[in-house]
C-alpha cells in the first residue's frame, strides 16, 4: 500500500464546486464485514475524477455506496455521509438515486444478453416519467453510430460494443453524474483508447461529471483532472492529475515505472514494511 501521505495535495473541491461529497464513510456487508473505513472524497461538477487502487481495495464498494447498489448485496453505509447536490443520499434506494441524477455503469457491463440493444437502452430510462425517451435513443445512436446498426440481441455484440451499450444505457437515464467501474476491462488496447475517448467526449460535450474506477491507471489519469488512490478500504493518497503522475510512489506502483523487486510486492505498504523489517 501507499502509506497515507502527510503532505496532501490541494483537495478536489478547490478545483470547482463539488457535485458529490463522500464524507468519512464506513461500509459493512452482511452486518459484520467491514470493508470501507473512513473514506472521503469529493467530485467537482463537470469533471472526471479517477479512483484507483489494487484488487479488493474497495473501489467498487465506494461506487455502490454512492449509487445505492450496496443494498442489492446486503451492504450498508454505517457511518458518514454521501451528499449529492447538497442532499444526503447514503442508503437511499438505487432508483431514487438514479432519479436524482447518478447512474452506475457496473464492472462487467451487466447488459441483458437476450434482449435487443434498444430493449437494453430502454432499461436505462426505467425511472423516467417524461416523454423524451425516443428522442434520447436518437441522441445515443448519434453518439454511438455503431449501436444503431446492431438490431439483434445484445449478447452478440463485441466486448467494446457491449461497453458502449452499457454507457449508452446510463445516458438514457439523463444522468448528471456517471460512476464508471472498470470500463476498460477485457478490451483490446485499441478499444480501450476508443472507450476513453468516449468518456472524455461525454464529459466535454454533455457536461456529465464522471467518477472513474480503473485498473488502467495510466489511461485514467490521462482522462481525469483529479485522482484518489485507495488501498485496503482507505484513501491513501489524492491529488491533481499532474501531481499524481509526478508522484514517485504512483509512478512505481500504478504507472509501471518501478523496479522489479518493488513491483513484485502487492502494494507499497507491504514493500515498505519488508524494508523496515530488514
Residues in the site for ligand ATP, rule: CB under 6 A?
A: 29-30, 33, 35, 53, 55-61, 73
Nearest residue (CB) to ligand ATP, 173 versus 179: 179
CA distances from 143 to 99, 136, 148, 265 (A): 23, 10, 10, 42
Nearest residue (CB) to ligand ATP, 38 versus 56: 56
Nearest residue (CB) to ligand ATP, 53 versus 175: 53
Report in angstroms how near the CB of residue 263 gets to ligand ATP at its nearest. 18
| Cα 36 to Cα 38: distance, rounded to the nearest angstrom | 6
- Taking the CA atoms of residue 67, residue 69, residue 74 and residue 78 in that order, the dihedral angle to the nearest 10 degrees is 0
Q: Are 27 and 78 spatial neighbours (Cβ–Cβ below 8 Å)?
A: yes
Report in angstroms how near the CB of residue 8 gets to ligand ATP at its nearest. 21
Nearest residue (CB) to ligand ATP, 74 versus 246: 74
In 46-156, the DSSP E strands lie at 48-52, 75-84, 87-88, 102-105
Q: Are 177 and 209 spatial neighbours (Cβ–Cβ below 8 Å)?
A: yes
Q: Which residues pair with 81 in a beta bridge?
A: 23
Nearest residue (CB) to ligand ATP, 35 versus 170: 35
Report in angstroms how near the CB of residue 54 gets to ligand ATP at its nearest. 7
Report in angstroms how near the CB of residue 231 gets to ligand ATP at its nearest. 9
Torsional sign, CA 227, 228, 230, 236: positive
Torsional sign, CA 152, 154, 159, 161: positive
Tell me the three state secondary structure of residue 79: strand
Report in angstroms how near the CB of residue 229 gets to ligand ATP at its nearest. 11
Q: Are 32 and 26 spatial neighbours (Cβ–Cβ below 8 Å)?
A: no
Report in angstroms how near the CB of residue 192 gets to ligand ATP at its nearest. 16
Nearest residue (CB) to ligand ATP, 127 versus 215: 215
Report in angstroms how near the CB of residue 47 gets to ligand ATP at its nearest. 21
Nearest residue (CB) to ligand ATP, 49 versus 172: 49
Amino acid at each position: 500500500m501507499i502509506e497515507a501521505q502527510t503532505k496532501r495535495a490541494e483537495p478536489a473541491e478547490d478545483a470547482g464546486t463539488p457535485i458529490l461529497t463522500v464524507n468519512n464513510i464506513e461500509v459493512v456487508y452482511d452486518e459484520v464485514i467491514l470493508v470501507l473505513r473512513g473514506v472521503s472524497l469529493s467530485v467537482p461538477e463537470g469533471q472526471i475524477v479517477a479512483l484507483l487502487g489494487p484488487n479488493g481495495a474497495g473501489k467498487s464498494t465506494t461506487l455502490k455506496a454512492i449509487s445505492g447498489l450496496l443494498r442489492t448485496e446486503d451492504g450498508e453505509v454505517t457511518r458518514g455521509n454521501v451528499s449529492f447536490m447538497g442532499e444526503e443520499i447514503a442508503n437511499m434506494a438505487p432508483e431514487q438515486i438514479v432519479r436524482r441524477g447518478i447512474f452506475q455503469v457496473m464492472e462487467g457491463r451487466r447488459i441483458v444478453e437476450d434482449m435487443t440493444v434498444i430493449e437494453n437502452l430502454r432499461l436505462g430510462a426505467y425511472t423516467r416519467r417524461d416523454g423524451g425517451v425516443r428522442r434520447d435513443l436518437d441522441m445515443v445512436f448519434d453518439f454511438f453510430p455503431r449501436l444503431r446498426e446492431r438490431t439483434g440481441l445484445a449478447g452478440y455484440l463485441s466486448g467494446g460494443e457491449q461497453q458502449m451499450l452499457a454507457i449508452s444505457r446510463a445516458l438514457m437515464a439523463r444522468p448528471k453524474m456517471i460512476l464508471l467501474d472498470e470500463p476498460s476491462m477485457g478490451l483490446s488496447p485499441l478499444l480501450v483508447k476508443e472507450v476513453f475517448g468516449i468518456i472524455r467526449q461525454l464529459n466535454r460535450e454533455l457536461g456529465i461529471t464522471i467518477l472513474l474506477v480503473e485498473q488502467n491507471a495510466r489511461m485514467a489519469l490521462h482522462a481525469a483532472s483529479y485522482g484518489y488512490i485507495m488501498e485496503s478500504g482507505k484513501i491513501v493518497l489524492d491529488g491533481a492529475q499532474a501531481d499524481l503522475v509526478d508522484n514517485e510512489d504512483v509512478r512505481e506502483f500504478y504507472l509501471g515505472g518501478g523496479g522489479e523487486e518493488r513491483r513484485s510486492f502487492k502494494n507499497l505498504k507491504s514493500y515498505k514494511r519488508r524494508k523496515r523489517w530488514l
